[in-house]
Structures are given as structure tokens and as C-alpha cells.
Amino acid sequence: MRILGFPAPRSAIWRETLRLAWPATLSLFLHSLYRVNDQFWIRELGSPAQAAMGAAIFLGIFNFTFITTAQSGGLARIAHYTGAKSDQGRRQVYSTLLPLCVVCFSILGFLEYENLDFFVSLLGVEGEVAELSKAYIRPFFLCLPAMMIKPVMDGVLIGMGNTFVPMVLGGLSLLLNFVLNPLLIFGWGPVPAMGIAGAAWATLAARGIAGLAEMIYLYKKTGMLPFSLPDFRFTEARAMLKIGWPIGLNTAIYALTFIWVVRMSVAPFGEPVLAGMGIAFNGLEAISYCALMGPATACASMVGRRLGAGEGELALQSVSASLTFSIGIACFATLAFALIPKTLLGIYSADPAVLAEGALYLMIVAWTQTATAAEAVLEQALAGAGRTFWMALVVSFGLLLRIPLCWWLAHDLGWGPVGIWWGFNLSNWIKLVAIFFVFRAIQLADIRPATVTRTHGTD
């Protein structure tokens, strides 16, 4: 018996997938609630603030280019060494990953902060919306290392097969964010009102504290130190970069494509369309994506560890189980988006024009949720295997296709915003077909176990 063309998993694989997937799903769901929480509290600031956050979020996604590069490379290498039962290999990865991240993200954040006007100009927003976008994104540029700690540490723990601790600390971080948001946005007592910038500072504080807590947990559990210079290896840095940069490139192209589509295709239709897309994307579709990414994240960990142990057939079974869970979650999202979009959006806005545009967006993108789920699992399987180049190439092509496709449907054919949303759908299905053929061509079961870096000598 085969499932979706892949070998049917044995019972142990089903159990392991479920054990890893539900905390990963809940963890990513909690992560998406940062945006939901921000959208909820800033609604009192009006639709310009919502439009600003809807546009500025893509600059944040662009920064995840670099965060995802570090997270994906670190997760894959940690998973392979875990499967190979090499504690020394894991220490080398960990003690190489964190120092590089701190240095590189500090430099990147400073450069972005100094060129804030340029980055916001890329969004194509003007006037009050542009100023609010700057106010929201400025803290993230200034304190970028605080944003990277939690997702990078999540990758380390997930690579070791631990999705529970990231979930628990993600929940505690969200609670802290929920308390800090109204305090910093509206002010209270000696705390001044910061407006939309308060939402950014609340997120930075909550995520930074959670990331530090994960570092402390890992030290108590394994004794591994994040800044142990004797364990630093340039060879590991190169190995992680080789795995991570194609995935980071995909994230960059995703963000730049969205920025370009927002600037050229969405913005001309006015503030209600931009705000409607913002609350639908940030407040609801982000939840769906994080939910279906849970099994995909579990898949990356399982594939990496199975291949590290030389168990290629079990790696394929892990892909099969993850696909089943992820597509099942996506089906629920499809039904919810298609049947009750305005009910779901009502918690973010009471503006009839914004609700109408957001509902239109959800009803159309509902039909791409299953494609997104399947694509996410196959991408993460290849990431866990350390085979990311061809995957990144075809995904990047599908993303770039959105720019002419959305313009053609929305403006040349005159479909309006509907054409943009259908452009998203079509590009997602094209990406899925392409990534499926890439996955089948790579022969996952034939990949040899990870080669452990020797512990003596220097790089």
C-alpha cells in the first residue's frame, strides 16, 4: 500500500510524526498569533495602521531570509549528527551557529536601520501609511539579533527531535507579548504610549526572552554552550550555509515578490484592498500556514535524523506520514476560508469595505491551501536531507511568476484584486508540480549518512 505515491508508514513512524507534529503545529500556531495579537490591538489606531502593518510585514519576512538560512542549515546539521549519535558534531554546529548569527544580524540590522527610508519606499505606500510603516519596522531593524534567537534555537531543538520545548516557550512568549502589547501601544502610568511602534517592541522583548530561555534549557540538558570557541568550525559554517542559503533565497524572493506585487498590483486599488489583504494574510492565512507547517517541520527533523542513521526507507515513510497530516489540516482551512470568511475577519475590523476585500481574498486563496501543505512537506523533507539547491530553484521560479501573472490578471485582463489572488493560487499549484518532480528525481533513500567532522585539529 502506498500513500500519495510514497511508501505507507509503519505504525512507529505514524506515532513519531504525531509526537513531533502536534507540538510543532501548536508552536508555529502560537508564532502566528504574534501577528494576530498585533492586528487585534492596533485596530484601535485605525485602518492606516492596519494598512501599514500589512505592508511592512513583508520587510520583516525579508529579514527571515537570513534567519531561515541559519535555522534551516543548523536544523539539518544538528539532525544528521543526532541520527549519527555524535555529540561532538552537535556541539560544533551549535558553537558555530550562534556566534555567526549574532555578528551577522547585528551588522545587517544596523545597515537596514540606517537605510530605513529606502526600504519603506519599496513598499509603494505614501503619507501616513508610510510613516506608520517606518515606526513599526524601525525597532525590528535596530534589534534584529533579538528576533533571530528564538527561531534559530527552535531549529537546534527540532533537529534534536524536540518540538515540545519550543512549543511551551512559544506559548509563554505569546502571553508576555499579549501583556506588553497594550501596555506599550497605549501606555500606562510611567510607560509612554508608543503607538504602532509599541507592537514591535513588545514582540522583540517577548521573542528575545524566549530565545534566551531555550539557550539556558539546552545548556542544562546537554551542557552545550553557544559560544564555545574551541568547538567553532568554519567547515560547519560552510556546510550550514550550503544547506541554508537556497532556502533563505526562497524566503527573500517570496518577500521581494510580495513587496513588488503589493507595490505594483495591490496598492493602486486603494487602502481598503491593502488593509483587507493585510488582516486576511496576517490574521488568518498565517494561522493556516503555521498549522500545516507543523507536520512539515516534523518531517525535516525525521528525515535528517533517519538519513544520519542510514535509514533511507524510513525517511520516505516519514514524508508520507507528514503529507497526510499536513494536507488534512489544510482541508479544514479551505472549508473555513471558503464558508465563513467575514466571521473570521470580524475580530480584526468592523469596516465594511475592509471586510469585503479581506473576505474576497480568503475565499479565493482557500483553494490553494492543500497545494501549500504538500509543497511545504516536500520542501522540508529536502531541507532535512540537505538537498536544497534544485528545490530552491523551482520554488523561486514559481514565486517570481507571480509578478507578471498578478499584473496580467488584475490590470491587463481587468479582473481587479480578484486577479491578484488567483495569481497567487496558480503560482502555488505550479510550484507544487515542479517540486514534486524535483523530489522524485533526488532519490532520498539513496543518500548516505552524514559525515561527522573530526574533533581534532583546527580549520
- Give the chain's domain count: 1
Q: Is residue 195 part of a domain?
A: yes
pLDDT of residue 3: 53
Question: Counting Cβ atoms within 10 Å, is residue 43 exposed (0-12), middle (13-18) or buried (19+)?
Answer: middle
H/E stretch holding 317 = helix 312-339
pLDDT of residue 443: 65
- CA neighbor of 63 nearest in space, from 159, 142, 175, 163: 142
Q: Is residue 305 part of a domain?
A: yes
pLDDT of residue 35: 72
pLDDT of residue 211: 93
H/E stretch holding 248 = helix 234-261
Digit-by-digit pLDDT tens for the chain (459 residues) are: 555 556 778 888 899 998 998 888 888 777 777 777 777 788 778 778 877 877 777 777 778 788 888 999 999 999 989 988 888 889 999 999 998 999 999 999 899 889 988 888 877 777 888 888 888 889 988 888 888 899 999 999 999 999 899 999 989 999 999 999 999 999 888 888 898 899 889 989 999 999 999 999 999 998 888 887 778 888 899 989 988 888 888 888 887 888 788 888 888 888 788 888 888 887 788 888 888 888 998 999 999 898 888 888 888 899 999 999 999 999 999 999 999 998 988 877 788 888 999 999 999 999 999 999 999 999 999 988 888 888 888 999 999 999 999 999 999 999 999 999 999 999 999 999 999 988 888 766 555 554 444 433 333
Task: Bin 126: left if φ > 0, else alpha if -120 < ψ < 50, else beta.
Answer: beta
Q: Is residue 128 part of a domain?
A: yes
pLDDT of residue 403: 93
pLDDT of residue 444: 62
Q: 361 lies in which domain range? A: 2-446
Q: Is residue 155 part of a domain?
A: yes
Q: What is the spatial distance between Cα 200 and Cα 190, in angstroms, rounded to a whole number?
A: 19
Q: What is the DSSP letter of 228?
A: -
Phi, psi at 450, each rounded to 5°: -65, 145
Angle at 137 between CA 133 and CA 142, to 5 degrees: 150
Q: Is residue 366 part of a domain?
A: yes
Q: Is residue 459 part of a domain?
A: no
Q: Is residue 238 part of a domain?
A: yes
3-state secondary structure of 7: strand
Would you state the cell numbers that stand for residue 17, as one nine-digit string? 510524526
Q: Is residue 344 part of a domain?
A: yes
